[in-house]
Amino acid sequence: MMTQTHFLVATALFCRRDRPARQNVAVLAGAFAPDAAIYGLYVWSKIAGIPERRLWDEVYFAEPMTTLTAIGNSAPLYALIAIIGIALVRPASVELAGPHGNTPLGFARFVSPATTNVALLFALGALAHLAGDLPVHADDAHPHFWPLTGWRFISPVSYWDPDHFGTIFSLAEAVLGVVLSVIVFRRFRSWWVRGLTLILLTAYLAVPAYFIFMLGGA
């Protein structure tokens, strides 16, 4: 999916008004992490003067990008970070905690605003990103289970490729983005959060327009 959709999904799932800002930022950082190498590659390509067509047809599928994207899209890596985060969780209060620091049900309150740490939230944001990407990457699929295996799930559906229902999915993704934006608007009242949400919405038009302009005649 497009990066802005990953931001909106992670925000809707894990960001809360009553969380400390650093925890909400951790969610967004996790949602961005799998795509970070791609944005770094894009910036480098502009500095190096790499043609747009060569960038996406050749450089993106060559080393070191294949390794960098494998690391950034590794579910085992983020699962390990999540496990570490859960291990570091503390109960929200003495009243809620049992004799061993757990709730009366015996489970740590690792999703409550008072207990969740940045490592766990970062991992949750990243894992939500991978869950969204797995079913909508065709020829450009990532090895999501690296380093355990280099196997890639080649989906019949692509979030962008018209040969793999990309046109239909792009429309559905834009609708999802609008719905998620409404959720974010209702949850957060601050002007800057709402402003950023509007910017993310514009990307559903701006990003396809950019690629049509840059690659359409190539």
CA dihedral for 214, 215, 216, 218, sign (positive or negative): positive
Q: Rounded to whole angstroms, how far apart are CA atoms 18 and 7?
A: 19
Q: Any idea of the CA torsion for 82, 2, 20, 112, to the nearest 10 degrees?
A: -50
What pLDDT score was predicted for residue 100? 47
In the chain, which ranges are continuous DSSP H helix?
Answer: 3-14, 21-32, 36-48, 52-57, 65-72, 75-87, 118-133, 166-187, 191-215
Question: Cα 110 to chain center, whole Å?
Answer: 20
Neighbours of 201 (CB within 10 A): 17
Q: Please indicate whether residue 217 or residue 215 has the higher confidence score (pLDDT).
A: 215
Distance of CA 42 to the CA centre of its chain: 18
The pLDDT tens digits for 82-125 are 999 988 876 544 334 444 444 444 434 445 555 568 999 999 99
Average pLDDT, the chain: 88
pTM, two decimals, is: 0.85
- Mean of the pLDDT values across residues 130-135? 98
Residues 159-186 pLDDT 10s: 999 999 999 999 999 999 999 999 999 9
What is the Cα–Cα distance from 57 to 26, expressed in whole angstroms?
Answer: 32
- The DSSP code for 145 is T
pLDDT at 115: 54
Distances (CA, A) of 166 to 15, 42, 137: 29, 22, 10
| Whether 81 contacts 122, CB under 8 Å | yes
